[in-house]
Structure formats: structure tokens, C-alpha cells
Amino acid sequence: MPVRVGVFGWGIVAPKSPNIDAFKANLASSDSWLTPFDGFGPDNFLVGCPEFQFGDYQDWIRQRFAPRLYQKLKEKMDTPAQYAIGAFIQSLAQNPGMEEVLQRLGSQAHVYVGTGVGAIGTIYDESIKQFFTQRRWNRFWAAPEHNSELRAWLDGGDGSRDKYADAPRCPESVSDPDEAEKACGEWWAYWSWRSPELQQYLRELAEIDSLSIEGDVETGKLNTIREKEKRHGRLRQKWNAPEPPWNVSANVIWNIHNTPASQISILGKINGMAFAPVAACSTFGVALYLAIRAIQNGEAKAVVVGATDPPPHPLLVGAFYNARVISADKSVSIPLTRLQGTHVAGGSVVWIVGDWDYMKAEGFKPLGMEPVSVGVSSDAEHIITPSLEGPRLAMMDALSEAGASEQDVGTWDLHATATPGDYAEVATLKSVVRQPVLVTARKGTFGHGMGAGGGWELTAQYLGYEAGEVFPTPLKPGELNAAIAHLHKDFVFDAACALPGRLAGKLSMGIGGINACVISRPITEADK
């Protein structure tokens, strides 16, 4: 008999919801949680902007670590890592003693927390900074007073005109402002490469960076770093040079995709495997799939699973817009209605899942529902338009592994992005579950978190079962798209519904054609 897996902790960072309790309270209303973006100046986009204060977790961190750690996390970690840390700390609260058990498990406690787009804010900010730093650097070394080759070229002597016949156009010869700005960049870059003075600067810099560690490794390392920094400053002062373009913040590498999982392992003192599954909109489902496999194979007794995304960013909103999958008319785009696009959202979701019998023996109480199976598949067809067969395979595999038939399913949560794909998804559902099933679609509530969205939807499903009802959605009966209504009519609208006492299904479909379908069953009184 397969090892049973339960959910024993959870935490949320979402629009209008800084924690799991606020998330649950907000689900009782059919109102949307979306707000104006205005990230391009005035614009027409609505987004799901997380409500979050990292300071809420300051005391927890300072009770366990030196005070400087909180400050380092605040200064160096981008929002995906901070959101995930907050959600993880929340997840420890439902079952007191969980923190100690995760530590005691050693290598049998794992962390699988992924991300949709990663630390896009840090990458963007540092890219902009590096661009302008490089531009100032080139301008400095392309100035005649710092470039004897350019001076000779301007004088026209020593055949330098012929030597540099490929020199770009002089910016002063360009009248169009945009073209002049481009010409300046090309001019400065070209001549900085040919500056003998810059080559001399680099030789002196190489001498400084050739300093090696002497004596004790640890103290010698710190002394060498300090000495190099001191000499770097003197060198720049000698040449009156600007900041070099390679002085990029180390936050770029401190915030790669595995950082949220790594920070959770550090803060939770969890010694087992930690990594970041990245599966776009199916990230949470894929993380749960891997966790269930690890527990059932005996590789882990508990796994921290999750997904985390930055707040909506102009790069991401603009990319979604040009992919023609985002709504841009200042109104809430509700799935299953006008099909004109989704809304970008950010935040985090973290669960602690574990071996049912082991966790119960530790005195822990299971939450929500029991995840019975996860089916995963790939469309192998198109990067953004879902196929019919890919999601269907994930759904069929999940039902088969759960030992369930279509008659066992009572509710189903759609991926539904308020695009034409909604129709195809409902058609696919009807090809697998042909009997009546109560269907929900929640991206009109909190938007589309790239990695976290599927986890929010699954948590909403679980919280509903725990509360004894299916929470409302923003969809009103008269708004249902006529073509979709022809396929299926049993949807959860803007009022809560009674729970069908059967299995629940949840499908996520990620960019790249990555699918994850979760089948869950209610927790009985005997299970508790």
C-alpha cells in the first residue's frame, strides 16, 4: 500500500493577503484583489500586488540568529526569497514542534521551492546600473585627455586617419536626438578600446588583483580583501577614473533561482536536499509531485514545497502584453467570460508535506485535504498555447494513480487564464470527467502568479474543504461565456457552494506546455 502523504503546514503571501489567515478570510468574498499597476507611468493594466512586510518576521529570525542576519536578508534578498521566507515561517505555526522535527530529520527533510521568473527586480535594477556605469566608463576613456590615440586621430597625424578608418560617426555630426544618443555610445565604446591610458590602468589594476593570501587562510583572506580595496581606491583616485563597469552587485548571484529554497534550508536548519523546481505556472504542482515521490520512495519523511514570484514588474507585464495573453482595459478580466487576457500577480506559497503516519505519530494534525496523486506531462507542441492531449494525459495519470474514476470527482479547479484557452481547457475536462462536477476558476480573484498561482488555487481548494464549503469566485452567472456554457454549466459563481463529498481535482498548465494535475481527497474524522 502506498505511503500516505499529508499537508502539515502552509503559508501564503498574495495580493491583499500577507499571511494564510488573511488569505482564508479574503476568500469568503467574491471581490477581486487586483489593483492598478501604473508601472509604466499611467497605464491600463490591473495586477495582483502582494501585501507583505518582511519586518513581520524580524523577531522570529532574531530569536534564532545573530541580529545582523535579518539586516543582511533585508538588504541582499530580492522579494521572491523574502516572500518564501515569510511563507515558510508561517507554515511552521499550524503544528507547534514542526521546526524541531524538520531539523531532527537530517537528510530526510527536503526543500523544493521553485520560482516562475526569479528575481527579475534585482536583474533589471543591476542591468540598468551596469549599462550606465559602462557608458560613463567608456566616455571617460574615450575623452581626448585620457586617450592619446584619439588625440592623434583628431590631429590627423601619423596616418591615424587611415589607421582608424572604421571609426564610427562623430556624435556632433548627428542631429536627431535619439540617433545622437546612440552615436555617443558607439563612439565612446570604440575609442575606449583604443586608449593606451586605459591599458596602463588595467596593467596597474592586474598588479593589485595579483595579491595573494599570506599566513592564516581566514585572517589572510580578510586582510587581502581589505588591502585590495584600499589600493583600488588609490588607483581610481590617481587616474580620477569613474567606477568600473565590473563593480556589479553580488546580489545578482545571491538571488538566483535556488535562493528561496536555500534560504529556507538555512533558516530552518534543514539538512536534506534543497533545490528549485522551475516549471512556469505548474511549478507548485511539479514540486508537490516530486515531494510525494520522495516520501513514498523513502527518501524523505517531510518536504517543504512551494513557489514564489516577484511583484508585477514592467518587464513581465510588457512581455505578457506582447504575448497577447494579458488584459489591458483597466477592468478585471474574469476567467470563462470575455476571454481577453489574464493579470500578472506576485507572491508566495509554501506547504510542509510529510509521511502521514510519521507526522501523526509526532502528534501533528493534517490540514485541508490529502494530496493523493499528481499527474505531470508535457504538451510537446507549443510554448504557450495548451494542447488537448498534454493536459489530458496529466489528468488521466493523476486519476489512475489515485485509483479513482470520473464518478469519484466532485470539484475541479481550472488553470483558466481568461483567454481563449479557457474553452479548450473546459473541453478537455469534459473529455475526462463527463459526469457533473463543480468547477472553479480563481485568477479573477488574485491574478496569475507565474509559479505561485497554482499553489494559491490549490490552497484555496483545501481551505474550502476544511471550512466545509467551496469559496465564491468573481464570476457572475450572466457573465459566463456562451460557448463555454454550452459545454458545461456547473460553475462556482459569486456565492459559496456546498461541498460535494468526493475527490477534488486541480490542473495547472505552464508556459512551455508543462502540466500538473493534483487529485486530493477530503480528510475524514477518523483521519484527524
Dist CA 519 CA 5 (whole Å): 12
DSSP 8-state assignment for residue 400: H
Question: What is the reported pTM?
Answer: 0.96
Closest CA to 388 of 351, 421, 344: 421
Which residues make beta-bridge pairs with 326? 342
Res 264 pLDDT > 90: yes
Pull the grid cell for residue 311.
511583484
Using one digit for the tens of pLDDT, what is the confidence trace for 27-36?
999 999 999 9
Dist CA 65 CA 72 (whole Å): 12
User: How much is the pLDDT for 12?
Assistant: 98
* Residue 246 host element (H or E): none
Structural domains in the chain, CATH included, are 5-119+255-522 (3.40.47.10), 124-239 (no CATH)
Dist CA 338 CA 46 (whole Å): 16
Burial 4-36 (b: 16+ CB within 10 A, else e): bbbbbbbbbbbbbbbbbeebbebbeebebbbbe
Res 221 pLDDT > 80: no
User: How much is the pLDDT for 158?
Assistant: 60
Tell me the residue ranges of DSSP E strands in 67-199: 109-115
User: How much is the pLDDT for 356?
Assistant: 98
**Across 108-122, 203-217, 271-285, 510-524, least confident range:** 203-217
User: How much is the pLDDT for 154?
Assistant: 87
Task: Measure CA 148 to chain center.
Answer: 49
Q: Could you give the 3-state DSSP secondary structure of residue 351?
A: strand
For residue 184, count other CB atoms closer than 10 A to its CB: 19
User: How much is the pLDDT for 472?
Assistant: 98
Res 306 pLDDT > 80: yes
The CA-based angle 121-126-132, given to 5 degrees, is: 135
Res 211 pLDDT > 90: no
Phi-psi region of 168 (alpha: psi -120 to 50; beta: other; left: phi over 0): beta
**Across 121-135, 165-179, 187-201, 400-414, least confident range:** 165-179
User: How much is the pLDDT for 271?
Assistant: 98
User: How much is the pLDDT for 329?
Assistant: 96
Q: Could you give the 3-state DSSP secondary structure of residue 298?
A: coil
The CA-based angle 513-333-428, given to 5 degrees, is: 40
**Contact call for residues 462 and 7 (beta carbons, < 8 A):** yes
> DSSP string spanning 118-140?
--HHHHHHHHHHHHHHHHHHHHH
Mean pLDDT of 48-73: 97
Mean of the per-residue pLDDT values for the chain? 95
Using one digit for the tens of pLDDT, what is the confidence trace for 315-363?
999 999 999 999 999 999 999 999 999 999 999 999 999 999 999 999 9
Residues constituting the chain? 528
Q: How confident is the model at residue 224 (pLDDT cuts 50, 70, 90)?
A: confident
Dist CA 81 CA 251 (whole Å): 12
User: How much is the pLDDT for 199?
Assistant: 98
Percentage of the chain exceeding pLDDT 70:
98
Mean pLDDT of 383-408: 94
Mean pLDDT of 502-524: 96
Mean pLDDT of 60-72: 96
Res 2 pLDDT > 90: no
DSSP 8-state assignment for residue 407: G
Res 215 pLDDT > 80: no
Q: How confident is the model at residue 160 (pLDDT cuts 50, 70, 90)?
A: low
**Residue 498 CB contacts under 8 Å (≥ 6 apart), including other chains:** 469, 470
**Residue 7 CB contacts under 8 Å (≥ 6 apart), including other chains:** 351, 352, 353, 366, 367, 368, 369, 370, 371, 462
Place of cell 474543504: 465
User: How much is the pLDDT for 159?
Assistant: 61
Res 367 pLDDT > 80: yes
The CA-based angle 221-227-232, given to 5 degrees, is: 125
Q: How confident is the model at residue 421 (pLDDT cuts 50, 70, 90)?
A: very high
Q: Which H, E and C letters describe 257-286, residue by residue? A: CCHHHHHHHHHHCCCCCEECCCCHHHHHHH
Dist CA 38 CA 314 (whole Å): 9
